[in-house]
């Protein structure tokens, strides 16, 4: 494992490539069990995408990313949400403990 997110180097590189290709220019933060220490190798990976100026990411890009994640060989569920579409209460919860992936 390459980091505290319990991601192999290979899977982290695959994720970074998908994000750069499908949603270029966004910050990607991990949160949830892989950040708070309650995960295992097969735990899902919860991510939040923070677009430029925290504006909504176009739906087409989000759909393209979701499809690419489903079709990838990454052996666990990756859930990526758009920061701008989440309630402020969820923002505060994520900001308490996250790891910047990209």
More confident residue, 54 or 5: 54
- Secondary structure letter of residue 66 according to DSSP: H
Share of the chain above pLDDT 90, in %: 79
Owning domain of residue 49: 9-100
List pLDDT tens digits, range 17-63.
999 999 999 999 999 988 988 877 778 999 999 999 999 999 999 99
pTM higher than 0.85 = yes
The domain total for the chain is: 1
Residue 4: inside a domain: no
Report phi then psi at 27, rounded to 5: -85, 140
Can you say how many angstroms the Cα of residue 101 is from the centroid of all Cα atoms in its chain?
7
Residue 2: inside a domain: no
Interior/surface letters 20-52, b for 16+ CB within 10 angstroms, e for the rest: eebbeebebbbbbbbbeeebeeeeebbbbbbbe
pLDDT band at 3 (very low <50, low <70, confident <90, very high): low
- Residue 63: the pLDDT is 97
- Residue 37: the pLDDT is 80
CATH code of the domain containing 58 = 3.30.460.10
Residue 3: inside a domain: no
Residue 15: inside a domain: yes
Residue 1: inside a domain: no
Share of the chain above pLDDT 70, in %: 96
Scanning the structure block, which residue is given the tokens 């579409």?
Answer: 85
Statement: residue 2 has pLDDT above 60? no
Q: Which residues pair with 78 in a beta bridge?
A: 45
């Amino acid at each position: 494992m390459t980091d505290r997110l319990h991601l192999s180097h290979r899977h982290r590189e695959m994720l970074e490539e998908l994000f750069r290709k499908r949603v270029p220019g966004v910050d990607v933060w991990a949160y949830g069990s892989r950040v708070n220490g309650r995960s295992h190798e097969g735990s899902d990976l919860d991510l939040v995408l923070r677009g430029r100026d925290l504006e909504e990411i176009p739906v087409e890009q989000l759909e393209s990313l979701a499809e690419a994640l489903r079709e990838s060989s990454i052996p666990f569920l990756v859930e990526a949400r758009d920061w701008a579409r989440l309630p402020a209460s969820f923002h505060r919860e994520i900001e308490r403990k996250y790891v910047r992936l990209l």
